[in-house]
Chain A
């Protein structure tokens, strides 16, 4: 498995502002992903963070709203832009271990937008 950390662990933000969430892994991984988990709900894939190229977004998610960076094989960021209360969720990064296929999740970032 891998040790995955996220910063911040939680934040309360005002509408209209942006928040950047960081995800750090303790080993190099091929794939990194970002998910959203709305209160009391399941997880929904936002995008695949590609190292060295633009992220691949799922239907319903766009780069202008959720810009993603992945500068190397151990780090990625997700920005939630121009936030509204509907963006209040837990945002989780996950990694797929090289050659393993298993996905492991970080602890999540709990975002509240007021």
Chain B
């Protein structure tokens, strides 16, 4: 079936730098996207979402960008902190379905 995939399994950044995590999706019918953060031993934590009628959405230290032309989603984290170390998942909701399809995940490592 259609899938949501991530470009890199591991991303290592210096503390204080900005991080960009990318995600590609293949189903043009997807109309809702969510980024989750999952720390070890915990359930996924909702970070930010975006609907297909938007290109950009900002939260606290995070920005999600959606490029529908190339079916690409990114999560930007500003001034990364040690607490940002986690696995980040993108997820999509295909039009007409309520459950989410998850990407493979990117492990973000913050170097001191």
Q: Which residues of A contact B (CB under 8 A)?
A: 1, 4, 31, 33, 41-45, 48, 58-59, 92, 94, 96, 101-108
Contact = CB atoms under 8 A, between A and B. Distances in A.
Contacts of B104: 41-42
Contacts of B98: 31, 33, 48, 96
A86 to B, nearest CB: 20
Contacts of A96: 98
Given A42-B105, A102-B34, A92 B43 contact: yes
Contacts of B91: 43, 103
6 contacts: A1-B46, A102-B49, A103-B91, A103-B100, A105-B36, A107-B43
Contacts of A104: 46
A42 B100 CA distance: 12
Interface string B1-20: 10000000000000000000
Q: Is the interface of A mostly helix, strand, loop or mixed?
A: strand
B42 A102 contact: no
B99 interface: yes
Contacts, number: 50
Given A33-B99, A42-B102, A105 B32 contact: no
Contacts of A44: 102
Interface of B: 1, 32, 34, 36, 42-46, 49, 89, 91, 93, 98-105
A106 B32 contact: no
B102 A101 contact: no
A97 B101 CA distance: 18
A62 B43 CA distance: 24
B89 A43 contact: yes
Contacts of A107: 42-43
Nearest to B104: A42
B46 A102 contact: yes
A107 B38 CA distance: 10
A36 to B, nearest CB: 11
